[in-house]
Each structure stands twice: as structure tokens, then as C-alpha cells.
């Protein structure tokens, strides 16, 4: 049951720099570990994260096996207009999750 | 005869005071939180950065979903957890009259599942059991730990204390050797904490996951090269009970974050 925690300020002034924080639940299995019987545990990671602000992509990141479980990604953007942030996480084994958050810009 | 008695009592008093001397004075008790770096403290303080909240969210979903042959959800009997579960984790482990022994929060949840929901018990350290426990325990955030002073439970606290003081494993260490006597020092680069169980289940960065107090206790036993007790063992519950009575009055932090 994947779940995400998103922290976007509800309100901001036009032109203000706002911080966006995202936390996605994921095991981020590296693909390098072995079980007690020596079998390789297959890789299962998030490979890509992106954020769109009213449809326009403002942030994208590729993720790799060295990133810890439950990746916490934060970044900054300039609040230009009221609207919606759409977040998307894509990964191995068909992993695909989306979340969104609204912002009011005055 | 009277002289013998006086001597015996004096010896007993000296023995008792020397034992107490190693225990942490009330005023010096500190949560593991205060030993952490400001960066790690910031993770715990921000609910949108604290990965433990992922389990709390899942636990809330489980609280409201039906389980077992009875097709009942936790919420059907206990309603809103914010009211009904407030302060509950601060009283656990608690004495169970039917079993005649103390049970911890995980065991209480599983007892509820098997008797009222007629569902199979959840495995220790499974995502579901950790999520439900974290959800229930997080309702007690800020509530002072209220160790039971019940006469029925006292012998179990004493047993837990005995285990805490007893040397074990190839390294021949008792819990008290580190956590009572050397809590202000370091073991390699890590701070030795006071073993105050204020934030369980907690997110440990080393585990990259949430884990129970029993997982932490077993970790320590493996570290001392001792054979750890199995999950759910009476000895571990007694040790949990002693630790909670030792931390009596300290606020619950669940879900805490630790390095």
C-alpha cells in the first residue's frame, strides 16, 4: 500500500520562493543483496520522479539503487500562479504513483 | 541476635543503595531524541518528512477496514481512535487478566484480532502490525508514560529489571552496563542512550523501516553476542514493561526517528 506525504504551502505571494517536500513509501531494494540461501533479490526501486506545476514540468529526478528507502525529495520553485502541483513516481515492477497538491497565489 | 539483625539490615541497605546508585536519577532522564543531531531531530519534528508517518497513514486505513470472519473493523468497536486510543500506548505493556501475564500493544492488537474480528494474528514486524501499532501509539503523542502500579504487574516489572541487570552473551554485558552506567559516553561513533522507550514503534534510519521495541531489544542482544529471545517471548515483554516503568512520566513520541 504505497502512500505519499506532500508538503506544499497552501498560500504564497506572487514571486515568492516556496519549498516543496515529498516523501514516497518504497522499499528501494538495490538488486545487489542476496537472501540467506544466496539468491539475488531482484532490484525494485523508483527510477523517476517528476513534478508539474499547472501542467508544466518544473522538476525531474532520476533515482538509483544507492538512494535509501522511502525517498524524501525536496526542491524549491517560484510561486507564479494559483493552481496545482502534480507529482509522479515511476519505478520497477510497474510501480506508478501520483499525487497532487493545490496552492493559492496572491 | 539483635546485632546479627542490625548487621544484616545494614548490609541489605548498602546493597540496595549501591544498586540504586547505578540507576539514572529522575532529573537526568533524557529521551533518545536529545542525543540525535539537529538534522535527524528535524526529520522527526516534521510530520511530512517523518517516514514513520507513512506507517501511521496505512495504520489509519487498516483501523477503518473490515477484517476476519466477523467482518468488523477496529473502528466499529473503538470508533474514533483520536479519542478512544489517546493515552493507551502510555499504559502498555498492561496486565491481561485472562492470560495472567502482561501483554504489549502488538499482542493486544492481535488478541483483539483473534477474539473479536476472528482474523488470523498478524506476524511480528509485518507491515500491517507495525502500521496498526504506530497508528494506535501515535494517538498518545505527548502523553506521559504511566506505568501501571498494579500489584499484579509488579512481579513482572521485577523480572524485567532482573533481565536488564543480568549479564548475558559472549561479551558478558548487561543492558545496565551501557544504558545505566555509560549513557553519557559513546560506543564507536554512536551516542549510548539511556534506553528510554518513548517513541516505539519508531523509524530507524539504519533499518530504513519502522520497527518495534522488541526488534530493538533483539538487536542489542545480538550485539552483545547473546541468543536473542523470540518475538513475543514473555522475557521481552517483561523487559519492555521494566523499560516503560523506568521511563514513567516521559512523553510518548511515536513515531519517533532514530539514527
Which of B74, B112, B178, B220 does the annotation list as catalytic? Answer: B220
* Statement to judge: residues B42 and B123 lie in one domain: no
Answer yes or no: do A21 and B49 touch at CB < 8 A: yes
- Find, in chain A, the residue whose alpha carbon is nearest to that of B50: A23
Q: Quick one: pLDDT at residue B17?
A: 40
Q: What is the pLDDT of residues A8-57, one digit of tens each?
A: 999 999 999 999 999 999 999 999 999 999 999 999 999 999 999 999 99
Closest B-chain CA to A9: B48
B70 and B42 share one domain: no
Same domain, B254 and B157: yes
Residue with cell 536473542: B228
CA-based Rg of chain B, rounded to a whole angstrom?
20
Determine the Cα–Cα distance for residues B241 and A78; give it in Å rounded to an integer: 51
Q: Which of A6, A23, A69 sits opposite B209 (nearest CB)?
A: A69
Interface pTM (ipTM) of the complex?
Answer: 0.88
Same domain, B125 and B156: no
Pairing mode, strands A17-24 and A4-7: antiparallel
The number of folded domains in chain B is: 2
Helical ranges in chain A per DSSP H: none
Last residue of a domain, one of B138, B164, B185: B138
| pLDDT at residue B147, as a whole number | 76
**Cβ of B49 and A28 within 8 Å?**
no
The CATH number of residue B67's host domain is 1.10.760.10
In a domain, B7, yes or no: no
Whole-number average pLDDT of chain B: 91
> Which domain-ending residue is among B122, B138, B154?
B138
Q: State how far the Cα of B94 lies from the Cα of B90, in Å rounded to an integer.
A: 10
Distance from CA of A15 to the nearest CA of B (A): 24
| CA nearest to B149, candidates B98, B99, B91, B100 | B91
On chain B, the residues whose CB falls within 8 A of the CB of A19 are none
CA distance A38 to chain B (A): 21
Note the pLDDT of residue B75.
96
Is B22 within a domain?
Answer: no
| Claim to verify: residue B109 and residue B169 sit in the same structural domain | no
B51/A6 CB distance under 8 A: no
Domain that holds residue B122: 53-138
Residue A72: list chain B partners with CB under 8 A: 49, 51
- B68 to A41, B71, B125: CA distances (angstroms): 32, 5, 20
pTM recorded for the entire structure: 0.89
Q: Tell me whether residues A23 and B54 touch, CB distance under 8 A.
A: yes
Residue at a domain's end among B138, B159, B184 = B138
**Both B87 and B215 in a single domain?**
no
Contacts (Cβ under 8 Å, ≥6 apart) of B130: B55, B201, B210, B211, B212
Spatial separation of the C-alpha atoms in residues B195 and B192, rounded to whole Å:
8
For residue range B151-193, what is the model confidence (pLDDT) as tens digits? 899 999 999 999 999 999 999 999 999 999 999 999 999 999 9
User: Which domains are present in chain A?
Assistant: 4-105 (2.60.40.10)
In the A/B pair of chains, how many CB contacts fall below 8 A? 39
Share of chain A above pLDDT 90, in %: 97
Instruction: Give chain A positions within 8 Å (CB) of B60.
Output: none
Is B220 an active-site residue?
yes
Among the partner residues B48, B127, B209, nearest to A5 by beta-carbon distance: B48
Substitution target from A30, A69, A75 for chain B, most B beta carbons within 10 A: A69
Amino acid at each position: 500500500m504505497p502512500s505519499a506525504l506532500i508538503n506544499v504551502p497552501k498560500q504564497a505571494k506572487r514571486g515568492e520562493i516556496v519549498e516543496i517536500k515529498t516523501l514516497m513509501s518504497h522499499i528501494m531494494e538495490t538488486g545487489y543483496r542476496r537472501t540467506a540461501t544466496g539468491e539475488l533479490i531482484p532490484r525494485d526501486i523508483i527510477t523517476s520522479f517528476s513534478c508539474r506545476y499547472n501542467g508544466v514540468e518544473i522538476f525531474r529526478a532520476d533515482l538509483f539503487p544507492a538512494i535509501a528507502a522511502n525517498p524524501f525529495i525536496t526542491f524549491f520553485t517560484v510561486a507564479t500562479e494559483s493552481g496545482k502541483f502534480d507529482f509522479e513516481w515511476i519505478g520497477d515492477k510497474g510501480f506508478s504513483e501520483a499525487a497532487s497538491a493545490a496552492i493559492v497565489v496572491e | 541476635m539483635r546485632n546479627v539483625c542490625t548487621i544484616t539490615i545494614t548490609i541489605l541497605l548498602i546493597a540496595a543503595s549501591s544498586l540504586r546508585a547505578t540507576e539514572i536519577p529522575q532529573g537526568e532522564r533524557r529521551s533518545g531524541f536529545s542525543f540525535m543531531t539537529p538534522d535527524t531531530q528535524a526529520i522527526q519534528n516534521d510530520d511530512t518528512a517523518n517516514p514513520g508517518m507513512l506507517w501511521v497513514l496505512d495504520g489509519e486505513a487498516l483501523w477503518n477496514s473490515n477484517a476476519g470472519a466477523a467482518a468488523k473493523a477496529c473502528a466499529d468497536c473503538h470508533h474514533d481512535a483520536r479519542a478512544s486510543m489517546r493515552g493507551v500506548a502510555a499504559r502498555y505493556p498492561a496486565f491481561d487478566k485472562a492470560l495472567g501475564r502482561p501483554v504489549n500493544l502488538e499482542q493486544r492488537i492481535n488478541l483483539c484480532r483473534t477474539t473479536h474480528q476472528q482474523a488470523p494474528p498478524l506476524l511480528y514486524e509485518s507491515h500491517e502490525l507495525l502500521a496498526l501499532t504506530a497508528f494506535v501509539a501515535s494517538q498518545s503523542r505527548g502523553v506521559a508514560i504511566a506505568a501501571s502500579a498494579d500489584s499484579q504487574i509488579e512481579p513482572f516489572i521485577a523480572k524485567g529489571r532482573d533481565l536488564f541487570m543480568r549479564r548475558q552473551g559472549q561479551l558478558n554485558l548487561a543492558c545496565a552496563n551501557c544504558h545505566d552506567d555509560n549513557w553519557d559516553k559513546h560506543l564507536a561513533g554512536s551516542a549510548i542512550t539511556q534506553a528510554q522507550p518513548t517513541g516505539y514503534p519508531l523509524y530507524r534510519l539504519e533499518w530504513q523501516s519502522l520497527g518495534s521495541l522488541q526488534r530493538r531489544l533483539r538487536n542489542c542482544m545480538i550485539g552483545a553476542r547473546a541468543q536473542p529471545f523470540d518475538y513475543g517471548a514473555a522475557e521481552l515483554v517483561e523487559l519492555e514493561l521494566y523499560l516503560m516503568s523506568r521511563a514513567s512520566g516521559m512523553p510518548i513520541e511515536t513515531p519517533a526517528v532514530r539514527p
